Structure 1
């Protein structure tokens, strides 16, 4: 087990330059700024909000995203995340959790227990008639009489989970759900993961509108609404969430809109690449250490490789960028090593020996904060002077 689980509190009051490396650093003021910005947009529109807890995976970050109970619903992708949030249920600031993967038989006992033992409302995700069948079978086998509230997942172009509006399977799922005593249609849900390709506000607004139109079209197929008092249309992804204030739409009667987003407290190079957030909006950094310098090839080696960073990219080349010199990128990685290389203009090329030395601590912006954050057992939370003020322990596992 990582030694940081035993030593992390000893670094409170110390500088990030004193941290063992590699280390994950969170700027709390940036997290709060990012969260407040989205909360303000949601409030202006008067719509619902459901944060996804997958990025920072901590009770502290979740409490901030929920505004300490102003918002009372979350999305979680793992049972571990739901268990981690149970103290917030006990505190009375969390009421409902959407399990964000299409439901499968092996999780139903646990999901049912979250409701029966902890009084947490669990909402499911379905996109196949077999999902309705396994819920019928579970309720029959266990004697559960309450129907499972379920979002029907609509695919609006991400090609991950969900059903295209043009697919006859959408009607099949709706009909199966309406005919089942084990399911209550809660609403329609989509996630525009492809919105990460947005480069302008107009492009992001267009994706958001496509999302809304997608779930509206799907909801029109729902002939029998007698099982639900209202239908929730849940849309969003962090890039489109940043332009939610641009959304203006009259919704049908008996329909409410909610926004979901997960990465927004943290942000990363992928988000900066959309043009909708700035470098200063990134709350996550990795602190690493220079292990060697190679003037003959103008590169330096650090002790942060693929399992300390990520394996994803964006329009920013490389897997991470040096916060003190954005034209120095991690251009190659192995498991535990990363290679700094110059990626800026050749005419302005800097010599590696003038920028790096053995033992130097370097801070890195990473490409995908969700993946990077999941690698660490401790998150060092710093103030605006980069002094560690708190340590957060993320939920690990599935």
Structure 2
């Protein structure tokens, strides 16, 4: 199909840009001498993930066990479930492992570690467990220097588990926007996780894997001594938040939403499109950054940004295109009814999640449909 054949709104993936992003990240990881385990929660799509593996990725990271099940069914066996697991999810994880999935699970508490160990013993299986490390006060995890780190390791040592390694995610890097600050955060992430691994080893515990990563820190790290693998996800598509962080340009953003102008409020300088927050998501991640793109940057059908025009408002199925600085009272002439536009998203993961499929756009400007996963 051609773009003009698509019903709107539709999620477009520019394959040339996606492939360039994949090559960029994989080449950087290769040059730093670490394995790369992409976080596939961004795309939740087999075709995208196969392109990452073809480029050199070793294993994948997922955010739900449903993703793990779907990717395992597609032939990918080396999977890290990078959300702290609780007892009610252990049977689902066990079923995957008994089918042959090389699944790694995550903990950051003695209570969770004990539950994993007890379940493993009761079911005659050894869970590979990673301990989550908090290196930036952003989310979950154990501080590298905390006594709790060794307590969790001890809880895992009773049987039913294998302490596989440590992992961390510097999510606070999303709040930065200079190369110097990003490099400092990458080093903070690296050194904290390496410290945690060394404390475990010094106490007599095995720690095979030291895993770090976020898109900004992966692209900003100057050296990764002591790290064995890096994880990153949104780089595959990039988005406007990453543009504001400074690790990509708008020309690198591979995901956009195709939409059609359906009307105008000329006296307000509005063009109305058929993509609202159900298509773009409610994520306003750029609102707290130096440049606020509203619900997304307006581009031509060819993908060229239209300077000054963003989606300033969104209802469920209606989007408002306008200039936030001053009304364009000639907007109906600029964007007549029927005009097709592409909107670059604030957060690629959130926007992708609004659609059951992607329309993969090749260099010949034709598209093929790629399904994506849903659920838990």
**TM-score (norm: length of structure 1):** 0.86
Q: How does 1:22-61 map to 2 (within 5 A)?
A: 22-61=9-48
Give the number of aligned pairs: 366
Note if 1:126 corresponds to 2:107: yes
Q: How does 1:127-206 map to 2 (within 5 A)?
A: 127-142=108-123, 144=124, 146-177=125-156, 179-206=157-184
Q: How far does the alpha carbon of each residue in 1:200-245 deviate from its partner, in whole angstroms, 9 at most, with x for none?
A: 22222111101011112212321467663x521111111122224x
Structure 2: 5+ residue stretches without partners: 301-305
Distance 1:304 1:115 in 2: 41
1:331–1:181 CA distance, 2 compared to 1 (3 A) = same
* 8 Å Cα contact 2:138/2:170 also seen in 1: no
Distance 1:136 1:87 in 2: 26
Note if 1:378 corresponds to 2:357: yes
Note if 1:392 corresponds to 2:353: no
Task: Say which SS state the counterpart of residue 235 (structure 2) adopts.
Answer: coil
Task: Say which SS state the counterpart of residue 228 (structure 2) adopts.
Answer: strand
Q: How far does the alpha carbon of each residue in 1:79-130 deviate from its partner, in whole angstroms, 9 at most, with x for none?
A: 22112212443xxxx341111110111221121122211x221111110101
* 8 Å Cα contact 2:145/2:196 also seen in 1: no
Other-structure match for 1:338: 319
Structure 1: 5+ residue stretches without partners: 1-11
1:250–1:397 CA distance, 2 compared to 1 (3 A) = closer
Q: How far does the alpha carbon of each residue in 1:338-363 deviate from its partner, in whole angstroms, 9 at most, with x for none?
A: 1112035x5x9673223222222111
Distance 2:225 2:281 in 1: 41
Q: Does 32-41 or 161-170 show the bigger shift?
A: 161-170
* 8 Å Cα contact 2:35/2:58 also seen in 1: no
Q: How does 1:1-398 map to 2 (within 5 A)?
A: 12=1, 14=2, 16-67=3-54, 70-89=56-75, 94-117=76-99, 119-142=100-123, 144=124, 146-177=125-156, 179-223=157-201, 228=206, 231-244=208-221, 247-251=222-226, 256-312=227-283, 313-314=285-286, 315=289, 316-317=291-292, 318-324=294-300, 325-344=306-325, 346=326, 351-388=330-367, 390-398=368-376
* 8 Å Cα contact 2:299/2:342 also seen in 1: yes
Deviation for aligned residue 1:136 = 2.5
Q: CA RMSD in A?
A: 2.0
* 8 Å Cα contact 1:72/1:95 also seen in 2: no
* 8 Å Cα contact 1:322/1:364 also seen in 2: yes
**TM-score (norm: length of structure 2):** 0.91
Task: Say which SS state the counterpart of residue 105 (structure 2) adopts.
Answer: strand
Deviation for aligned residue 1:334 = 1.8
Structure 1 residue ranges (4+ consecutive) displaced by more than 6 angstroms after TM superposition = none
* 8 Å Cα contact 1:25/1:379 also seen in 2: yes
Task: Say which SS state the counterpart of residue 278 (structure 2) adopts.
Answer: coil
